[in-house]
Structure 1
Amino acid sequence: MDNSLFRSLVQLGDDCLVLGQRLCEWCGRAPTIEVDLSLSNLALDMIGQATLLLDYAGEVEGSGRNADRLAFHRDAEQFRNALLVEQPNGDFARTIVRHFLYATYAEALFEQLSHSRADRLAEIAAKTVKELRYHAEYSADWIVRLGDGTADSRSRILDGLEWHWRFIDDLFHDDESWIDCAERGIVPLRQALRTDFEQAVGAVLAKAGLVMPEKVRGVEGGRGGRHSEHLSMMLAIMQVLPRAHPAATW
């Protein structure tokens, strides 16, 4: 088994899975019907991406696990998602900030992954980056609308930025497995994407009349399985049915 590739694929897949589940929590609760449908469609994209990546990870592992098994039969400490994506939804503005930061990062990442020396990953990334381009544009539009809107909407966007900015270091963390894959041309180093990410974020915030948050002490650990309590609570809901009936087929 290629341990580094397996672990890197799990990181990618877990980001998509956890954020997709978070967006699913908005179903029937969004500010308008149109937004409800939009967030549900974003969630479906994320779950679809997670399925492709985790199925591939299961094949690389060679132990008979597929995407469903990896999604529903691992405990929180076995997940390798970035801390950003597991954060609670909060209000609509906080959700939009979280998605904007992730999508801006992920669009650049999957663009690079579309040129991976691992052909299967390159194919997945080529499909995924088209979806992420829309995600980044959609969330950026809301950042501008809310940031340049009322005093209340602006305050909520600022609150979302303050809450999520501490998790950016974790989002760009390159662990040993990821570095090994980068040296083989399978993935790019995340840190190499950070300058472009910050420039893209800064440009959107400027349109909204906002400035980049000041650098803060980062909170890290997600790639190593050290998560907040929020992930365990989310997984308890997400996994309850397949855990109760582990031998069932759907």
Structure 2
Amino acid sequence: MSYASFESATRHSEGESIIAEDIATSGVQASEAVARYALALGDDALMLGQRLAHWISRAPELEEDIALGNIALDLIGHARFFLTYAGTAWGKTEDDLAYFRDEEEFRSVRLAEQENGDFGQTIARQLIFSYYQYELYTELMKSEDPTLAAIAAKALKEVEYHQDHATAWALRLGIGTEEANRRLQEGLYYMWPYIDELFYNFEPVAELPGVAVVPSTLRARFEERLHATIAEAQLQVPDVPQARGGDRSGAMSEHRGHILTELQVLARAHPGATW
């Protein structure tokens, strides 16, 4: 990574820290229902950010090492906001919630936990998830909860880039070589069964009218935009069965434990350590 890129990433990280600390010290306390809602959104971002970090030094070109690393930083920043806010309801910090919960206590969607696979599979996941997050945060900015609305406004600016990045790669691969098209198409087939879960009206959404976004209301616009991009990339919308479950009750993919083992090992081995 160049010095300029490192400096940019450092400023990015410091900016996220300042905002997370502002939430923690603002005196605002989330209700139990708001905390559970924020926790689910934070867990989504944390899992996917951890997944994308694995591409650093492994991406097909140096620029992608930096791009995917920065997207991972963005997502971990979003996780920090949501987990910090959720923690105000329970007297916990973002670190408590990220590092010291067991896997069945997380509420992330299974799409965010799926394996990177090859680059085509990762781009397929990014395409789906960034389009979903764009719709989610666009609506969440209208929340009657000012903290959730502020988090969404900050996150949306970054998700717009994630969406553009995934779209550009989908077009590049889809309209590129036959092999690139095949791999991206296979990636879409792999990820597609987990789409329903994104739009499940999970608890505590029903308890938060005007505060939480009702996931099912996002689906029509999401499909319209995503299907148009898939068609432009000369790919097919997969026709595959959807995975069962999706209520965010703690049901998980087989991958979550592996992700958390790596994410949490240092904090659990040296609790309270700082550097």
Of 20, 35, 45, 1:6 maps to: 35
| 1:152 alignment partner in structure 2 | 179
Is the Cα–Cα contact under 8 Å of residues 83 and 220 in structure 1 kept in the other structure? no
Q: Structure 1, residues 189-242: CA drift from partner, whole Å, max 9, x if none?
A: 110000111111111011111232125233334611111221101110111000
The match for 1:62 is: 90
Deviation of the 1:81 alpha carbon: 0.6
What is the aligned-residue RMSD (CA, Å)?
Answer: 1.2
**In structure 1, which of residues 13, 25, 30 is the aligned counterpart of residue 54 of structure 2?**
25
Match of residue 45 from structure 1 = 74
**1:233 maps to which residue?**
258
Q: Does 1:209 align with 2:234?
A: yes
Equivalent pair of 2:195/2:242 in contact (CA under 8 Å)? no
Alignment check: 8 A CA contact 2:53 2:72 kept: yes
Q: Is the 8 A contact 1:110 1:126 kept in 2?
A: yes
1:9 and 1:53 in contact (8 A); partners too: yes
Separation in 2 of the partners of 1:155 and 1:75? Answer: 37
Q: Which residue of the partner structure matches residue 163 of structure 1?
A: 190
**1:194 aligned residue (201, 212, 219):** 219
Aligned to 1:111: 138
Deviations 1:32-51 (A, max 9, x none): 10111100010010011110
Residue pair 2:201, 2:215 contacting (<8 A) in 1 also: yes
3-state SS in 2 of match to 1:101 = helix
Equivalent residue letter for 1:223: R
Spell out structure 1 runs of 4+ moving beyond 4 A: none
TM-score normalised per structure 2: 0.87
Count of residues in correspondence between the two structures: 246
Displacement of 1:245: 1.2
Match for residue 82 of structure 1 among 99, 103, 109: 109
Q: Give the unaligned 5+ runs of structure 2.
A: 1-29
* Preserved CA contact (<8 Å) 1:167 1:220: no
The DSSP-based 3-state class of the residue aligned with 1:149 is coil
1:15 maps onto 2:40 in alignment:
no
Percent identity of equivalent pairs: 42
Match of 1:247 in 2: 272
Structure having greater relative contact order (Cα 8 Å, sep ≥ 6): 1
Indicate the SS of the match to 1:239: helix
- Measured in 1, the distance between the counterparts of 2:223 and 2:152 equals 22
Return the letter of the residue paired with 1:75.
D
- Which residue does the alignment assign to 2:5? none
| 1: CA distance, partners of 2:214 / 2:79 | 20
Counterpart contact for 1:3–1:177, Cα < 8 Å: no
SS of residue matched to 1:223: coil
The superposition leaves residues 92-121 of structure 1 with CA deviations (integer Å, 9 ceiling, x where unpaired) of 110011011011000110011111100011
2:199 counterpart (161, 172, 177) = 172
Q: Output one character per residue of 1:102-156: Cα deviation in whole Å (capped at 9) or x when no partner.
A: 1100011001111110001111111111111111111011111111111111111
Between the aligned partners of 2:242 and 2:74, the Cα distance in structure 1 is 32
